[in-house]
Structure 1
Amino acid sequence: MGILFTIFTVTAAGPLFIIISFLYLTFQIYSGKSIKNPNYPPVNGTVFGQLFYFNRLYDHQTEVARKQKTFRLLAPGQSELYTTDIRNIEHVLKTKFDKYTKGKYNQDIVTDLFGKGIFAVDGDKWRQQRKLASFEFSTRVLRDFSCSVFRRNAAKLVRVVSEMAIADQIFDMQDTLMRCTLDSIFKVGFGVELNCLEGSNKEGTEFMKAFDDSNSLVYRRYVDPLWKLKRYFNICSEASLKKNIKIIDDFVTKLIGTKRKLQAEERLYNDKEDILSRFLVESKKDPEQMNDKYLRDIILNFMIAGKDTSANTLSWFFYMLCKNPLIQEKVAQEVRDVTSSQDDVVNVEEFIANITDTTLEQMHYLHAALTETLRLYPAVPVDGRCAEVDDILPDGFRMKKGDGLYYMAYAMGRMPYIWGEDAEDFRPERWLNNGIFQPESPFKFIAFHAGPRICLGKDFAYRQMKILSIALLRFFHFKLADDTRKITYRTMFTLHIEGSLHLRAIGRTKSWR
């Protein structure tokens, strides 16, 4: 379709071009879709119709899913199926894993940002990155190194928030957490100190904004029938995306060059300390394939996994604690009980340094509260796969080769048939049995994906979120700056809070005064 757009753009103009383009697009959307065939899921519009409710997309999907567990939207050349049916999700992500891929439709949309990183590829490239990453996440070296980084940044975070608390100043919790987790993932993943949390790295802050804006702009392509045309002429949203991606590429290219130089000078003594160093060692075995462009893609994919998932979840977590003050106090009391720190005067550095693996494992209520947050506000609200062959789903509906199947994690968390009549309530107790955390099937609680592509960094993310939560809730009580303001999301690949999360922090101890 992109080629046809280009030809007509060059050779035609005005009303004729618009009419021909519209007719061609309509033909591509509606032809061969078996619209009235009951063997296929009911049609609920087109993918481009989502533009009309784009800013509340996930809530709209939830409303539709309450009536139809599986439905479809028509797209040029294929149908896009959406489901909350757990059987369908297990079928696609596990039972017939080898029959479903990311698909060309999705890859065309995301490649400018994610390139050939682990979230955008299939086959050998996915297996290679998965194997190396799996090795890294399973090593004690990375576990110990990451925990030391998380504790160090947690102490910095307490100091930053304490300044706001002392001044009784309103601050943006989401931005603060984003900076903190960005510092952590760059240190753990790439061996680099960004110092974004304390505001001393302007370049790092610009990179973070460029990445978040690119995330949003690329996601918007799913509802924009003209995005390829805009990219060709470098106009509107595609012009903004191009500028942001240049900022990203320049920053990451510089990072890779610095790491290569340090390795060449033999100043990196521990090749296994950070993930990028490990990939750089591997790149020497196949320098043509694992070039700097490939490494750039790997870095950005790990960054969205390490920064966005944790920071987004923690932002929604503190929002829910502010909306549910009794739950906030339950978590804070568990922190005091498990860490045996009931005193009013507590040394910040000593307290955080003593957060051990055992401490984290005993925080069942905190773990349940974080998991409950992910149930209602999953870091990736919608994800999916593409059928490589004709197939029949467990619910009886048919799919044609090339069709996509998207599972709606955000909507699933609100489905009474999955979670009970209180599905929309924030209730950490649903995860506890006699005070002990009890996990659910990953196909029911799909926040970390499932099957062979289940998130490798799940434990990594929980460790970071727990350490930061323990540190903040031991020293501060949090309140919304404005109880009347409606908090919603920004529609993109990951579930950011739209705008800011303005909070007040009130000290629980005298140690930071």
Structure 2
Amino acid sequence: MELQPSPLCILIVTLSTAAVFLLLCHLTASCRRRNPWCSCEVCETYLTVGWSKHHANLCDWYSDLLRRSPTKTVHIHILGNTITANPVNVEYMLKTRFENFPKGKPFSTILGDFLGHGIFNVDGDLWRFQRKMASLEFDGFSIRSFAFDTVRFEIEDRLIPLLLSVSETETRILDLQDVFKRFSFDCICKFSFGLDPMCLQLSLPLSEFALSFDLASNISAERAMKASPSVWKIKRLLNLGSEKKLREAIAMIDVLAQEVIDQKRRIGYSSIHKDLLSRFMRTVNDDKFLRDIIVSFLLAGRDTVASALSSFFWLVAKHPQVASEICEEVSRVIGNQQVTSFEQLRELHYLNAAVYETMRLYPPIQFDSKFCQKDDILPDGTFVKSGTRVTYHPYAMGRMEELWGPDCLEFRPGRWLEEGKFRPENPFKYPIFQAGLRVCLGKEMALMEVKTVALSLLRRFRVELATPAAEKPTGLRFSPGLTATISGGLPVKIRDISTGARASHK
């Protein structure tokens, strides 16, 4: 007997075929606009991944292209992406013509499944509302004190005891990047949501939320690297490969974000609760919107801080004289006391310079994209067609001789000091925290967290690189993602150099 396909099977095949046909039509239209089959040397190098023969990271290849460009601006035809490392262009995009360079619908679509309508993925009134709500908290003295106390507790009661236990074993190797991710995840959850996930206990597996979060971040970033959005859209429609993994990761994020919201409702979110989520929940009753706020603040507070700390300790391990100068400054300025306030941290000019120098070379967010709404001309004369993705590139900007001098590839905190005092640079030359109207609201909080951890660990431990696995002659190798994550982690050995430890070995 001959089997006949069921009506449901026929319907599924028909709908799938129609969907693929429509997406192919969209791809054809994209071809006309973006010339994705461009055979120029740059586009061919991108498509064949030829850049990897000479560069550790895609960002290093972009840096090389931008260095050789007279205007410090290039256009990648197959991506429809204009990339710039020119500070004048950055100011034009982020300040002068801010309204003409929003995040844009294409970018919101790329990150929409992951970030939803959170502050980093929206424009207009929705962005203004979230920014206003968050700024009321970040600007308050009580929230700054709450954040400082949160970080101090996490360092003294969890981070230092953990590192001490590792330092007692001479042969034990620790992934310091993983530790910093756990640390910053605990801090941002307590600070933003009033909840403690207790991730900084290596006897426990990292939470499913955190693992799913990393996966969703990586796959979302890979979407933006495709020559055509139709590639990932077809995979998403058919629930295949990386898009299937992304859907599963987001489902886990959604479940656990909802648990955060429900738990917060059980605990309460009155005016006495200082965390950010409480403020939003007193105004917003849409759980989907609250979920997007949770994910956005996790991205900002967990991944960027962990990235900055990982790069800082990698650089300091390779430049031990920097660690010595930081410790000498601390002894000179505050003695053997613990740092107890934001104000004391501001007095540590060399420490501040070392942190800024770290992020010049290894920014936690290596590039940021906007989409041009109307035809425009950048100050360097580059014509930008409506709908073009325009990317400013802090990673490349930190490697420009014209901006930082012939020693731009060197780690030299002294470049930030003038007569011993920290001297900030033009934010459009150093757009690590963005600049203009979308400048990072959590800048001071993030700097406080990085500097407090750096200070606490350098005074107590010596960090030695265990293996050079993540290194290339030109620096670190990074995994794809929305924030910079060292590929393979940061394996180190921890040595306790406190007075007691030295005495016990005599």
TM-score, normalised relative to structure 1: 0.87
- 1:419 correspondence with 2:397: no
Amino acid at match of 2:418: N
Give runs of aligned pairs for residues 215-294 of structure 1, distance below 5 A. Answer: 215-224=217-226, 225=228, 226-263=231-268, 268=269, 270-283=271-284, 287=285, 291-294=286-289
Q: Secondary structure at the match of 1:470?
A: helix
- CA distance in 1: counterparts of 2:51 and 2:113, whole angstroms: 25
CA offsets, 1:425-460, max 9 Å, x none?
A: 110000001111000011000100010000001100
Cα RMSD after superposing both structures: 2.7
Give the Å deviation of 1:493.
1.1
1:356 aligned partner = 341
- CA distance in 2: counterparts of 1:427 and 1:130, whole angstroms: 35
Q: Secondary structure at the match of 1:220?
A: helix
Amino acid at match of 2:181: M
Within the candidate set 166, 169, 189, 1:167 is matched to: 169
1:74 aligned partner = 77
* Contact 2:478 2:487 (8 Å CA) reproduced: yes
- CA distance in 2: counterparts of 1:414 and 1:137, whole angstroms: 32
Within the candidate set 444, 448, 455, 1:470 is matched to: 455
Give the Å deviation of 1:9.
5.1
2:160 aligned partner = 158
Give the Å deviation of 1:334.
2.0
> CA, structure 1 residues 223+273, in 2 after alignment: closer, same or farther (shift >3 Å)?
same
Give runs of aligned pairs for residues 108-507 of structure 1, distance below 5 A. Answer: 108-155=109-156, 156-168=158-170, 169-199=172-202, 202=205, 205-224=207-226, 225=228, 226-263=231-268, 268=269, 270-283=271-284, 287=285, 291-341=286-336, 352=338, 354-483=339-468, 486=471, 487-507=476-496
- CA distance in 1: counterparts of 2:220 and 2:272, whole angstroms: 34
Amino acid at match of 1:184: C
Give runs of aligned pairs for residues 92-111 of structure 1, distance below 5 A. Answer: 92-111=93-112
- CA distance in 2: counterparts of 1:197 and 1:373, whole angstroms: 24
> CA, structure 1 residues 50+91, in 2 after alignment: closer, same or farther (shift >3 Å)?
farther
Q: Secondary structure at the match of 1:81?
A: strand
2:9 aligned partner = none
4+ runs of 1 displaced by more than 3 Å?
A: 6-9, 20-27, 30-33, 50-55, 199-202, 268-272, 510-513
Identity %, equivalent residues: 35
Amino acid at match of 2:167: A
> CA, structure 1 residues 152+422, in 2 after alignment: closer, same or farther (shift >3 Å)?
same
- CA distance in 1: counterparts of 2:329 and 2:197, whole angstroms: 33
CA offsets, 1:103-132, max 9 Å, x none?
A: 111111000000000000000100000000
Give the Å deviation of 1:477.
1.2
1:63 aligned partner = 64
Unaligned ranges ≥5, structure 1? 1-5, 37-41, 342-350
Amino acid at match of 1:45: C
Query: Which of 158-167 and 450-459 deviates more?
Result: 158-167
> CA, structure 1 residues 484+118, in 2 after alignment: closer, same or farther (shift >3 Å)?
closer
- CA distance in 1: counterparts of 2:478 and 2:149, whole angstroms: 32
- CA distance in 2: counterparts of 1:228 and 1:22, whole angstroms: 10
> CA, structure 1 residues 504+126, in 2 after alignment: closer, same or farther (shift >3 Å)?
same
Give the Å deviation of 1:270.
4.1
Give the Å deviation of 1:327.
1.2
* Contact 2:119 2:127 (8 Å CA) reproduced: yes
Query: Which of 451-460 and 159-168 deviates more?
Result: 159-168
- 1:10 correspondence with 2:8: no
Q: Secondary structure at the match of 1:45?
A: helix
> CA, structure 1 residues 200+299, in 2 after alignment: closer, same or farther (shift >3 Å)?
farther
Q: Secondary structure at the match of 2:459?
A: helix
> CA, structure 1 residues 135+511, in 2 after alignment: closer, same or farther (shift >3 Å)?
farther
- CA distance in 2: counterparts of 1:459 and 1:511, whole angstroms: 34
Give the Å deviation of 1:72.
1.0
- CA distance in 2: counterparts of 1:50 and 1:471, whole angstroms: 45
How many residues are matched?
475
TM-score, normalised relative to structure 2: 0.88
Within the candidate set 35, 46, 49, 2:47 is matched to: 49
CA offsets, 1:159-212, max 9 Å, x none?
A: 11111111122111100011001000000000001110024664x622111111
> CA, structure 1 residues 111+271, in 2 after alignment: closer, same or farther (shift >3 Å)?
farther
* Contact 2:270 2:282 (8 Å CA) reproduced: no
